[in-house]
Amino acid sequence: MSRSIQAVGLDIGTSKIRCVIGEAGENGVMEIVGIGQTDSRGLRRGIVITSDSVVESVKKAVDEAERVSGLEVQVVNVNISGEHLQGENKSGVVAVAGAGREITRDDVDRAIESACAVQLPAGWRIVDRLPQEFIIDGQDGIIEPVGMHGARLESRIHVVTSPSAGGQNIVKAIHRAGLEIENMMLDALAAATSTLSDNDREYGCAVVNIGSEVTSLMIFSRGAVQHTAVFPFGGMHFTKDIAVGLRVSIPEAEKIKHLYGCVAGFLMSADEKHEVIEIKPVGRNETRQLTKEILCDIVQPRAVELLHHIAVVVANSGVQIPSGVVLTGGGSMIRGMVEIAEQVFDAPTRLGFLDLESFGGLAEEIQTPDWAVAAGLALSSMRSQIREQNYGGKSPSKKVAEWFESFREKFR
């Protein structure tokens, strides 16, 4: 047990900023010791538009988590978000030279580099390289090629790219909040880290993180990421539809959505459909009445439409997902989302909750899908710090072992 390890996840979203502070507990469990959440200002679709507001919101969320934990935060792990993220499967090949053609770490690095040698549009960068498998002389499915023998080493890598500016502005805002960045991780990958089991990743599973204005999809199979996509919509679309349809303000629409919203009419009994709710139209003093059924008629078609876009991408990816779909993010929490998604995806669907084999401490306090990203960022940091501690010695064999483990983590 290493109590000295402190891992901090900071999920910078368009509507909320969340901070999770964890400490390493026993058997790889992360004890959550601090949580902080604040309304987010200064972002649009995951991208910074007003840096000062983001700095303030980050400070507030981190301050709160510090107060709860009694710890001081200096280094954070941050999510990578934004509607322009793109993922593509690439492959590279290198010849293995040297005595006995034993594959070295250098050969593997070259094979990965060769797969990632992609022509990027001006102002774009690679934000992550997620290894899928290696192929040695035609033998596929290899995860750890170092030390094996062969003449030809092929790598298959899921390469994620995005415009550089979005990431740079987040980095700047965090630095201005007085914090350092340890690592940055895609939203959906962080959500998968806290909610998926190894079996989900192995057999095939899609994580759909529905935020406020951005939804990200990541499809796993054979233990690795096979597909990534980002969609420029989220829970805010339901709010806007309610605001327009009922002529109420955005805050009023948000309140109505939380209290009465349901995107699956078949979950409501006839009596419930006819239950009356009171709303306050913009610019009027008197209230108006409508039934829950009318509200459902506004949001249900939108939910089907948005989920359909994602389901088409999942189907076109060609990846089978027998472990189904896991929904995370606040947008997944509207009533009926799981049931309607199950129909649209035609696959078993569930909400993503923190895996309590990996989380302890305050985990029960944040056992809702909108905390999956922040908790996943912290968990990933804790695991990587434990690896460093275990293999931190200077000997080359220890270094290779550490590299292997961190590499394997990318397959998780």
Ligand X SMILES: Nc1ncnc2c1ncn2[C@@H]1O[C@H](COP(=O)(O)OP(=O)(O)OP(=O)(O)O)[C@@H](O)[C@H]1O
* Closer residue to ligand X in complex, CB, 7/210: 210
The residue assigned the tokens 């996943």 is 376
133 binds, among ligand X, Mg ion, none (CB under 5 to 8 A by kind): none
Applying CB under 5 A, which of residues 9, 13, 36, 150 lies at the interface with Mg ion? 13
Contacts of residue 272, defined as CB under 8 A and 6 or more positions apart, other chains included, come to 292
Q: Should residue 234 be labelled a site residue for ligand X when binding is judged by CB under 6 A?
A: yes
Q: Should residue 46 be labelled a site residue for ligand X when binding is judged by CB under 6 A?
A: yes
* Contact assessment for residue 345 and residue 314, using Cβ atoms and an 8 Å cutoff: yes
Q: Should residue 331 be labelled a site residue for ligand X when binding is judged by CB under 6 A?
A: yes
| Tokens matching residue 103 | 């594959």
Q: Cβ 302 to ligand X, closest distance in Å?
A: 12
Q: Cβ 370 to ligand X, closest distance in Å?
A: 4
Q: Should residue 402 be labelled a site residue for ligand X when binding is judged by CB under 6 A?
A: no
User: Bridge-partner residues for 18, per DSSP?
Assistant: 11, 37
The residues in 197-216 that bind Mg ion, with binding defined as CB under 5 A, are 211
* Contact assessment for residue 303 and residue 337, using Cβ atoms and an 8 Å cutoff: yes
| Residue 283: Cβ-neighbour burial (10 angstroms; 0-12, 13-18, 19+) | exposed
Q: Should residue 213 be labelled a site residue for ligand X when binding is judged by CB under 6 A?
A: yes
Q: Should residue 350 be labelled a site residue for ligand X when binding is judged by CB under 6 A?
A: no
Interatomic CA distance for residues 133 and 201, integer angstroms: 14
Distances (CA, A) of 314 to 228, 321, 335: 10, 9, 23
Angle between helices 51-69 and 164-176 (to 10 degrees): 50
* Closer residue to Mg ion in complex, CB, 24/62: 62
Q: Should residue 40 be labelled a site residue for ligand X when binding is judged by CB under 6 A?
A: yes
Q: Should residue 214 be labelled a site residue for ligand X when binding is judged by CB under 6 A?
A: yes
Stretch that binds ligand X, among 84-92, 146-154, 329-337, 354-362 (CB under 6 A): 329-337
Binding mask 210-249 for Mg ion (x = CB under 5 A): -x--------------------------------------
Applying CB under 6 A, which of residues 94, 333, 377, 378 lies at the interface with ligand X? 333
> What number of other Cβ atoms are within 10 A of residue 142's Cβ?
16
User: Bridge-partner residues for 210, per DSSP?
Assistant: 215
Contacts of residue 121, defined as CB under 8 A and 6 or more positions apart, other chains included, come to none
* Contact assessment for residue 255 and residue 278, using Cβ atoms and an 8 Å cutoff: no
Q: Cβ 123 to ligand X, closest distance in Å?
A: 21
* Contact assessment for residue 192 and residue 329, using Cβ atoms and an 8 Å cutoff: no
Q: Cβ 379 to ligand X, closest distance in Å?
A: 17
> Rule CB under 5 A: which residues touch Mg ion?
13, 211
> Rule CB under 6 A: which residues touch ligand X?
13-16, 40, 46, 81, 211-214, 234-236, 239, 254, 257-258, 261, 329-331, 333-334, 370
